[in-house]
Chains A and B, each alone.
Chain A
Amino acid sequence: MSKTVIDAHNISKVYNPKTIPVYAVNNVHLHLNEGEFTALVGPSGSGKTTLLNLIGGLDKPDKGNIFINGTDITRLSAGELIDFRLHNIGFVFQSFNLIPVLTAGENTEFIMLLQGINKKDREKRLAQLFTEIGLEDKMDVRPAQLSGGQQQRVAVARALASKPHFILADEPTANLDSVSASNLLDLMARLNKEENITFLFSTHDQRVIERARRVITLVDGAIASDTAAVSTTDPHKELAI
């Protein structure tokens, strides 16, 4: 039986509760097991990013509980949440968000430094991660000198560096051209298959949705549908462009 990674109970997030309440997330129940490759889809304003922020511990729900690997993160203080995120959750952002003054390697190593990993283990892990993302020769290059696709691969390496329980990716392909998007999806799918890394990503991109094994559709902050797969496409199959 697969291990539960994310278990969200009846969570809601309301903006303007005292004036005109807007339910960004409305009574959502979500259960994700280890090794899932899940897409969160829905129109703009449906609450995808808010739900990811709640699950990632970047924001707190107004109602409900979120258990990550058995820990109720809604009960953690701001400081505890920072530490929890560092050791348990990997993030990939739409606009890459690499630190511009650090090289690709340093961006990835930074997370391991925060975790207090020793130099020898950091170097070993760094070499392994950059081999996985296929950018061994770009470790000493600053983000500005990398293409969007390469930057997002480095962002994935950074998310993986902390050996998290799962990776949250907010529209990871939104700023990428089709080739880069395809390469990134291949990388994520391979990591999911070979290393059993759990991915939960929000997307509008139909090609990304087609690669997901499970698709959760949000409408007006509520789950409209949750299916194990919307297509017969094997997520681990190369995306045809």
Chain B
Amino acid sequence: MIFIMAWRNIWRNKSRSIVIMLSIVIGLIAGISVLALYKGMMTSRVRTVIDAETAHLQIHDRDFKKDYHPSFILKNANSLFQSLSSLPEIKVAAPRSVVQAMLITATGSAGVQVNGVVPEYEYKVSGLKEKIKEGEGFHDNKKNEIIIGRKLAEKMKLKTGSKLVITFTDSADNIISSAFRIIAIYQSDNDPLDELNVYVPMQALNELLMTGNDFHEIAILLNSDEDLQKVQQILMKQFPAFSVESWKDISPETDFMVKTVDEYSYIIMIIILIALAFGILNTMLMSVLERTREIGMMVALGTSRSRIFLLVLLETVFLTIAGTPIGLTVAYLITDYYHTHGLNLSGMGEDMMASFGFNTLIYPSFPWEKLAGIMIMVIGTAIISCLLPAAKALRLQPVEALRR
């Protein structure tokens, strides 16, 4: 009956209760929308990292990343590359020769990372072909072709068809320079990487590096993100001499960003709920003070203090959660709409978004995995909000309360 009383009590002052319920609905919509937007942004960023930048996993010689010296090739690279096809979790892998170089043109110079790639594999792993905005991809049997990023092209004032010179040290520490012609300009969602990475055919680069048919890196794309840890463990066991890194190891800033934003989104939700808590507290305090005589009478008749506390607690919880289904439903409908149609954030500054590696078209996603946490926070807010009104109710002396 305490449940019935609590439920009916919140409807004694309908307008007051509806106002507080509406504020909870709006708070939930705002909070969940922010969580959904953050989730969409992070999902987009992680997808970009995996699908366009690092792939799921990369295999290198253990010393390669110490100073990126071209002599640290993967030994028996080709047989290692072939053996990967036996793992069903692997969707596709791409070999890469990598060297740090100086790009020189008539107008200036820039430090770049030259990626020697096999187009057939690279297009599938990093989606390089889809990122090309000007020109075409690599042509068969043409060696000195280079694909550069739009950011670098703008900085160095380069166009397709322009020539440039790449200078680097080979595996024997000789300084090598070679001219390349720009056949395409690509653009990804990450300006800093576009400015840094250039792509040439692997065969051409290997000849310059004198690394034969070997290479420095294998980028691996998996069928499912869920298999990341499992496949990493398998490869680490299978190839103990090499370093097997996941995208989280290669791009720790992205992993850190995902975790931090996850925490921030909870903080935002908590801030919204704290603001709501004051409204709930005020409503409940008024409700209790208006019923001083009634509560005093209940105590006089033999209602224990714990039941009085339960009554106030239930009223607060009901008041708080009554609007929750509406808030969750509206938030779901809003996020579902933008999940389907996308939310264009180009108004926030396309360049600014790209400089942080974000696409401007975000697909917010309802944070189902946070739903339990949100509900716990909402009920926690109710419990905290009820403490002061409940304390007031518990302090009432029946004689004094009945006199009012």
Contact = CB atoms under 8 A, between A and B. Distances in A.
Interface of A: 53, 56, 58-59, 79, 82-83, 85-87, 91, 93, 97, 99-102, 106, 109-111, 113-115, 158, 162
Contacts of A85: 300-302
Given A101-B8, A110-B1, A58 B302 contact: no
A82 B399 contact: no
Interface string B131-143: 0000000000000
B1 A91 contact: no
Contacts of A83: 302, 304
A134 to B, nearest CB: 23
B293 interface: yes
A139 to B, nearest CB: 14
Contact of B5 (A79, A82, A86, A99): A99
Given A79-B304, A82-B305, 6 more contacts: A53-B399, A102-B8, A106-B4, A111-B301, A114-B301, A162-B302
Given A79-B305, A83-B304, A91-B300, A58 B4 contact: no
Nearest to B403: A49
Pick the 5 closest A-B CB pairs, nearest first: A86-B302, A101-B8, A97-B297, A59-B399, A85-B302
Most chain B C-beta atoms within 10 Å of own C-beta, residue among A83, A99, A102: A99
Given A99-B294, A101-B9, A56 B300 contact: yes
Interface of B: 1, 4-5, 8-9, 12, 293-294, 297-305, 307, 398-399, 402
A52 B303 CA distance: 19
Contacts of A91: 300-301
Contacts of A86: 301-303
B305 A114 contact: no
Among B1, B298, B305, B307, the one with the most A-chain Cβ atoms within 10 Å of its Cβ is: B1
A87 B304 CA distance: 12
Nearest to B304: A82
B290 to A, nearest CB: 11
B8 to A, nearest CB: 4
Contacts of A59: 399
B402 A109 contact: no
Given A56-B300, A83-B302, A102 B399 contact: no
B396 to A, nearest CB: 11
Contact of B297 (A93, A101, A115): A93
Given A58-B399, A58-B402, A114-B307, A97 B294 contact: yes
14 contacts: A83-B304, A85-B301, A86-B303, A91-B300, A93-B297, A99-B297, A100-B12, A100-B294, A101-B5, A101-B9, A102-B8, A109-B1, A110-B1, A114-B307
Contacts of B294: 97, 99-100
A68 B15 CA distance: 47
A161 to B, nearest CB: 10
A111 B9 contact: no
A79 B5 CA distance: 22
Given A58-B398, A93-B402, A101-B9, A114 B303 contact: yes
B1 A82 contact: no
Given A82-B305, A106-B1, A109-B1, A99 B300 contact: no
Contacts of A162: 302
Given A85-B301, A114-B307, A162-B302, A101 B12 contact: yes
Contacts of B304: 79, 82-83, 114
A97 B302 contact: no
B62 to A, nearest CB: 71
A83 B307 CA distance: 12
Given A58-B398, A58-B402, A106-B4, A99 B298 contact: yes
B280 to A, nearest CB: 20
A82 B4 contact: no
The winner among B5, B303, B305, B402 for most chain A CB atoms within 10 A is B402
Contacts of B299: 82
B380 to A, nearest CB: 27
A97 B299 CA distance: 12
A110 B307 CA distance: 12
Contacts of B293: 97
A15 to B, nearest CB: 12
A91 B9 CA distance: 23
Contacts of A93: 297, 402
A116 B297 CA distance: 19
Contacts of A115: 302
Most buried by A among B9, B293, B300, B303: B300
Contacts of B5: 99, 101-102
A175 B398 CA distance: 21
B287 to A, nearest CB: 12
B1 A102 contact: yes
The listed residue with most A CB atoms (<10 A of its CB), out of B9, B12, B399, is: B399
